[in-house]
């Protein structure tokens, strides 16, 4: 198995075998079947967020290689793999946090894309 790190915002794998941390397995248990050797087979598809590291034995085509990078084989899958906070240098505002909520550059949250764009524009004008 090779080690990979997710470069894009989100990657979906279809089929193959994985070795994951306990936390990664917990969040994806309904999508995985445990094998006798402690690895997991993917049932259908499974997703990973930017920065996650995983061991993968499956098809890695050119389009997938643009979204992930192979890393050193000695790298372990970290127990806490995801930085829940979005790195500030990679955020463009308003930042969509999901379910219609947007975070503005001043830290406030607004529901609705149009309202968020308008509010961020006003913040940028006053700065």
Per-residue pLDDT reduced to its tens digit, 37-87: 999 999 989 999 999 999 999 999 999 999 999 998 655 555 554 445 444
What is the predicted pLDDT for the residue at 94? Answer: 85
User: Is the predicted pLDDT of residue 103 greater than 50, yes or no?
Assistant: yes
Q: How far apart are CA 86 and CA 95, in angstroms?
A: 10
pLDDT per residue as tens digits for the range 5-47: 999 999 999 999 999 988 899 989 999 999 999 999 999 899 9
Helix (H, G, I), strand (E, B) or coil at 90: helix
What is the predicted pLDDT for the residue at 44? Answer: 86
CA distances (Å), origin 60, targets 30, 49, 85, 113: 23, 17, 28, 35
Is 17:58 a contact under the CB 8 Å cutoff?
yes
Is 13:58 a contact under the CB 8 Å cutoff?
yes
What is the average per-residue pLDDT within 95-116? 84
């Amino acid at each position: 198995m090779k080690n990979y790190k997710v470069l894009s915002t989100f990657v979906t794998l279809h089929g193959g075998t994985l070795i994951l941390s306990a936390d990664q397995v917990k969040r994806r248990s309904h999508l995985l079947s445990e094998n006798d050797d402690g690895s997991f087979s993917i049932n259908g598809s499974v997703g990973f967020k930017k920065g996650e590291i995983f061991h993968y034995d499956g098809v890695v085509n050119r389009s997938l290689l643009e979204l992930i990078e192979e890393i050193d084989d000695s790298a372990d899958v970290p127990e806490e793999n995801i930085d829940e906070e979005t790195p500030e240098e990679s955020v463009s505002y308003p930042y969509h946090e999901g379910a219609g909520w947007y975070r503005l550059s001043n830290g406030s949250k607004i529901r609705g894309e149009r309202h968020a764009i308008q509010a961020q524009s006003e913040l940028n004008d006053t700065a």
